[in-house]
């Protein structure tokens, strides 16, 4: 009996097999597969697209709010760990003036960097919130425009969602607090460094300094970092919000 020649791989891959058993097993496997939805013309209607977009943006807003709460919890945890670490270090080091100055420098640099990172994180969260909220408001405006002839007072249903946002008031307060705290941390660091550099002993808090140069440097550093935080806020968030309002 002559042996059947084996076809090349590309020929067997492209041509289906004529084996009936294999075909039946293939059909049985297809019946076990999950149902695949075929996109029809009805699925591509603008209403379906808008509703899917609205759900997606709404879910994203919920996630942003959860991330904001988690970020606040992480920030307070960071403060607690930092204060505890500084307290433990203070108990372990020598109580000399130079050791205390080095501890103060390292502590305020750590707190300043940490506050700056959380400041940037909150800026990012509010930025994402504003952009997704703007898309939701656009979808609401679309439905209001097309349904106003049927329901004249439909705009009253969405007046709060369209007009108010929690970020405008509370976020500004949070950003101001972070900017002041960051500026104070780096300003105090500059004060201690300048005292070390100029070999000035620490004086009582309420007494006038013998040399005003450290306090002048401290004031300049505080104003500089406050301006940097304001510029960062303006160029990353404020301008983008204004662009969204102009597009709207």
Question: What does the pLDDT look like over 69-84, one tens digit per residue?
Answer: 999 999 999 999 999 9
Prediction pTM value: 0.67
Per-residue CA distances from 163 to 134, 148, 159, 187, 191 (Å): 11, 18, 6, 39, 45
Regions of the chain short of the pLDDT cut 50: 1-4, 9-14, 16-31, 33-36, 39, 205-208
Question: What does the pLDDT look like over 186-221, one tens digit per residue?
Answer: 999 998 888 778 766 655 544 445 667 788 888 999
pLDDT at 13: 42
Q: How far apart are CA 187 and CA 239, in angstroms?
A: 28
pLDDT at 149: 74
pLDDT at 55: 83
The DSSP annotation for 29-60 comes to HHHHSPPPPPP-TGGG-HHHHHHHHHHHHHHH
Domain ranges of the chain: 44-247
Angle, helix 46-92 to helix 97-147, in steps of 10 degrees: 170
Overall size of the chain counted in residues: 248
CB atoms closer than 10 angstroms to residue 182: 24
pLDDT at 26: 41
Question: Who contacts 65 (Cβ-Cβ below 8 Å, separation ≥6)?
Answer: 129
């Amino acid at each position: 009996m002559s042996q059947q020649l084996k076809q090349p791989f590309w020929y067997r891959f492209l041509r289906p097999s004529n084996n009936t058993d294999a075909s039946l097993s293939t059909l049985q496997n297809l019946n076990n597969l999950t149902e695949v939805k075929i996109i029809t013309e009805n699925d591509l209607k603008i209403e379906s697209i808008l509703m899917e977009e609205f759900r997606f943006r709404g879910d994203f807003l919920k996630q942003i709010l959860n991330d904001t709460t988690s970020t606040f919890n992480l920030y307070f945890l960071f403060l607690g760990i930092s204060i505890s670490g500084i307290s433990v270090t203070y108990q372990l080091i020598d109580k000399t003036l130079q050791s205390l100055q080095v501890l103060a420098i390292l502590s305020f640099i750590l707190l300043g960097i940490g506050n700056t990172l959380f400041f940037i994180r909150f800026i990012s969260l509010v930025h994402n919130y504003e952009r997704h909220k703007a898309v939701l408001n656009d979808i609401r405006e679309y439905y209001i425009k097309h349904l106003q002839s049927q329901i004249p007072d439909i705009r009253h249903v969405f007046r709060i969602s369209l007009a108010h946002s929690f970020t405008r008031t509370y976020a500004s307060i949070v950003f101001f607090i972070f900017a002041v705290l960051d500026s104070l941390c780096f300003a105090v660091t500059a004060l201690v460094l300048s005292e070390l550099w100029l070999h000035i002993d620490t004086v009582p808090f309420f007494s006038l300094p013998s040399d005003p140069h450290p306090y002048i440097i401290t004031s300049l550093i505080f104003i500089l970092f406050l301006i940097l935080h304001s510029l960062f806020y303006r160029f990353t968030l404020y301008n983008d919000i204004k662009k969204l309002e102009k597009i709207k």
